[in-house]
């Protein structure tokens, strides 16, 4: 006859200190937060740092996984492309060496351009 295998009695889980508990809660909260589009747009405007460095900072701040970090780096790069396109549009309209009427026409165009961009209300996902 085979001997019955003894199962060890369960041990109580070790109690966390208050400091350990606060760190654990902080990590969990960070994990549930996501950077806003406004924060991403502000970061994308910082041309002194690469999108790689910016996404690394986001990953550290928000405890992002590797795929999430890649996704945010991709969004930052897309925002920079959009910024360059807007800047190119403005530069194309700007009258170099133009007279007063050309500058006035540019300012009217610029005002209309800004109104067109800002007149559309943001959706929930853009907030």
The answer to whether the predicted template modeling score (pTM) of the entire model surpasses 0.85 is no
Surface-to-core class of residue 109, CB atoms within 10 Å of its CB (0-12 exposed, 13-18 middle, 19+ buried): middle
Summarize pLDDT for 53-78 with one digit per residue, the tens. Answer: 999 999 988 888 899 999 999 999 99
> Would you kindly state where each structural domain of the chain is located, as residue ranges?
30-115
pLDDT value of residue 32: 65
Long-range contacts of 15-21 (CB under 8 A, 24+ apart): none
13-43 pLDDT, tens digit per residue, is 888 888 888 887 777 766 667 888 999 999 9
Chain-centroid distance, C-alpha 114: 23
């Amino acid at each position: 006859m085979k001997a019955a295998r003894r199962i060890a009695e369960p041990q109580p889980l070790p109690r966390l200190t208050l400091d350990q508990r606060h760190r654990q809660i902080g990590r969990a909260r960070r994990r549930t937060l996501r950077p806003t589009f406004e924060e991403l747009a502000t970061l994308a405007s910082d041309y002194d740092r690469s999108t790689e460095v910016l996404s690394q900072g986001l990953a550290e701040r928000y405890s992002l996984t590797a795929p999430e970090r890649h996704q945010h780096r991709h969004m930052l790069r897309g925002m920079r492309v959009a910024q360059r396109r807007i800047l190119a549009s403005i530069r194309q309209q700007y009258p170099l060496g133009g007279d007063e009427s050309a500058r006035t026409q540019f300012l009217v165009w610029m005002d209309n351009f800004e109104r067109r961009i800002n007149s559309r209300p943001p959706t929930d996902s853009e907030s």
